[in-house]
């Protein structure tokens, strides 16, 4: 096979906020993790392993953020997820029986698919990876097909932090956590929300991180103008490389109007058995409050611009073929894209296609099928483009143009408004005070030990958890606002309590133990990172 004309770097950003509530037997928001495990992380892990075992040549990059890695490796959450899977397996068997009858036979193929998926999910989770998906992803990285990158420690929005110490702590804590889970230092980072500001790259260089990602305008508005636009990485003045998103490939998937996931044959996300089934049948599979919610069993296709009540039955075989067709179309467009770009470049153009990982499988059920078909087609049906990781591209093309990226994010309007507006601006005066107080504590206690050290570490955890950009984002999107506000207030309140106890040298050990039990993220944390 001849050398490729260009490269495709597919990047999936896998992240969820740290949600773990041991004080409750079950907690609704923990379902965010469990849904993503069943619908995105395990299907992706499964397809990567299948391609590797079959010798299909592919490369993919994926962030596994520190909060997500901590949750995936947590025995309590693993146990709760397995409990949920077992309940779903029971329901799936009932649904296969129900849809085998003539009155519901149009849903039988989808019910069989659901049952098979849940069985496979249990096998992968429990039997193949001993309930810890982090180990599965790590093996793929060790095999050389998956490059795992890190993120800010708790997905903190770096440009809205007022001290370099707080920004540095988010990066250094993430690096240490990555080393704990993946056995090596991270080569790249996904900055939370792709939010870049001047000076961030210097902190990355200090941490030994080679590259990061920005949205298109972060490079296009850089100084000087990039010679190759977004189709080659640039070198920041700090010697850290920046890769920019290609809007054309993103639009084909993301666009609400023209994107693949809106195809009429794909599975409808918003119509769910949790609402359609008779209440007495579905009640055992709902949360303790008994409120109807989505439970992940879906029998209808998108159909078109019609009311949910008018959706038509889902047809798995047709949807799978449509995923293959769309993968072929995506590849065709990338082939023509690199053929055109190659005429104007002295190196193979690189198309960087980053997405939220949860798009694939959770929001777009057929998304993992699309990725698998894409890699198979790229391996066997053409030679113009080849998949590559950012590290591989930097190794083969080390000479880069030096550009100072522009402040930017990949949020709506491209800057910081999603995370700083009238719905959430109240949080920052509290977060900034906590930043300053944490730096004060770290400076005043350079070598604490015993209960004082525990309290300082816990204060750092509470600050980090309060800084999660997810809470500000949720307030903007108005999805689970009471929970986001509560989490912000709780962590800020806990931080200030610990601050006052440390300052007065009167630490309440019972209170500290309770916080260590509830907010147990980053057991390896060292508060001195804030000094």
Q: By the 8 A CB rule, do 422 and 43 touch?
A: no
Residue indicated by tokens 């600050």: 463
Token pair recorded at residue 158: 């770096």
| Catalytic residue, candidates 179, 248, 356, 490 | 356
Alpha helices in 158-309 (DSSP H): 164-182, 200-206, 216-220, 247-254, 273-276, 279-282
- Exactly one of 35, 49, 95, 193 is catalytic; which is it? 193
Concatenated DSSP letters of 118-132: HHHHHIIIIIISTT-
- Other beta carbons within 10 angstroms of residue 300's beta carbon come to 21
Could you tell me which residues come within 8 angstroms of residue 277 by beta carbon, excluding any fewer than 6 positions away? none
Output b/e per residue, 38-75; b: 16+ Cβ within 10 A. Answer: bbbbbbbbbbbbebbeeebebbbbbbbbbbbbbbbbbe
**How far is residue 175's CA from residue 265's CA, in Å, rounded to a whole number?**
42
- Give the DSSP per-residue string, 42-111: HHHHHHHHHHHHTT----EEEEE-HHHHHHHT-HHHHHHHHHHHHHHHHHHHHHHHHHTSGGGGGGHHHH
Nearest of 406, 404, 425, 422 to residue 414 by alpha carbon: 406
By DSSP bridging, strand 60-64 and strand 6-14 are: parallel
Cα distances from 510 to residues 344, 507, 514, 516, in angstroms, run 66, 9, 6, 10
Active-site residue flag, 356: yes
Q: Specify whether the CB–CB gap between 205 and 239 falls below 8 A.
A: yes
Per the annotation, the verdict on 381 as an active-site residue is: no
Taking the CA atoms of residue 417, residue 406, residue 337 and residue 345 in that order, the dihedral angle to the nearest 10 degrees is 180
Per-residue tokens: 314:
């889902």
Catalytic residues: 193, 356
């Amino acid at each position: 096979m001849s050398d490729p004309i260009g490269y495709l770097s597919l990047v999936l950003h896998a992240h969820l906020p740290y949600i773990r509530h041991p004080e409750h037997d079950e907690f609704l928001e923990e379902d965010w993790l469990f849904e993503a495990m069943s619908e995105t992380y395990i299907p992706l892990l499964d397809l990567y392993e299948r391609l590797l075992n079959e010798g299909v040549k592919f490369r993919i990059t994926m962030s596994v953020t520190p909060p997500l890695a901590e949750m995936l490796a947590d025995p309590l959450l693993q146990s709760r997820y397995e409990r949920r899977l077992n309940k779903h397996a029971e329901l799936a068997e009932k649904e296969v029986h129900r849809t085998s009858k003539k009155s519901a036979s149009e849903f039988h193929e989808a019910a069989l698919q659901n049952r098979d998926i849940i069985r496979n999910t249990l096998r992968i989770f429990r039997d193949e990876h001993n309930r810890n998906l982090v180990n599965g992803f790590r093996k793929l990285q060790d095999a050389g097909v998956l490059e795992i990158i890190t993120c800010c420690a708790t997905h903190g929005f770096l440009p809205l932090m007022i001290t370099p110490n707080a920004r540095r702590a988010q990066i250094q804590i993430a690096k240490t956590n990555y080393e704990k889970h993946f056995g090596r230092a991270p080569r790249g980072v996904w900055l939370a929300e792709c939010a870049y500001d001047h000076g961030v790259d210097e902190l990355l260089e200090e941490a030994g991180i080679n590259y990061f990602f920005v949205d298109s305008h972060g490079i296009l508005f850089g100084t000087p103008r990039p010679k190759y636009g977004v189709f080659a990485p640039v070198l920041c003045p700090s010697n850290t490389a920046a890769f920019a998103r290609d809007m054309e490939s993103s639009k084909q998937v993301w666009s609400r109007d023209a994107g693949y996931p809106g195809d009429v044959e794909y599975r409808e996300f918003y119509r769910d058995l949790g609402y359609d089934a008779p209440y007495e049948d579905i009640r055992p599979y709902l949360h303790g409050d008994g409120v109807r919610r989505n439970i992940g069993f879906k029998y209808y296709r998108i159909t078109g611009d019609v009311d949910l009540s008018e959706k038509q039955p889902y047809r798995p075989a047709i949807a799978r073929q449509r995923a293959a067709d769309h993968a072929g179309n995506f590849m065709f467009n990338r082939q023509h894209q690199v053929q055109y770009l190659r005429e104007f470049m002295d190196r193979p153009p690189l198309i960087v296609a980053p997405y939220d990982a949860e798009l694939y499988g959770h929001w777009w059920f057929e998304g993992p099928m699309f990725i698998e078909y894409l890699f198979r087609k790229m391996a066997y049906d053409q030679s113009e483009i080849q998949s590559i990781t950012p590290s591989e591209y930097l190794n083969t093309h080390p000479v880069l143009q030096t550009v100072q990226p522009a402040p930017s994010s990949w949020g709506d309007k491209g800057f910081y408004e999603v995370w700083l507006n009238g719905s959430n601006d109240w949080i920052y005066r509290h977060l900034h005070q906590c930043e300053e107080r944490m730096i004060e504590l770290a400076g005043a206690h350079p070598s604490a030990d015993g209960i004082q050290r525990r309290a300082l570490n816990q204060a750092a955890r509470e600050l980090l958890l309060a800084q999660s950009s997810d809470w500000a984002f949720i307030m903007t999107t108005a999805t689970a606002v009471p929970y986001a506000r509560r989490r912000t207030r709780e962590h800020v309140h806990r931080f200030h309590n610990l601050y006052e106890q440390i300052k007065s040298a009167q630490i309440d050990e019972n209170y500290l133990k309770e916080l260590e039990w509830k907010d147990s993220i980053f057991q390896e944390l060292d508060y001195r990172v804030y000094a």
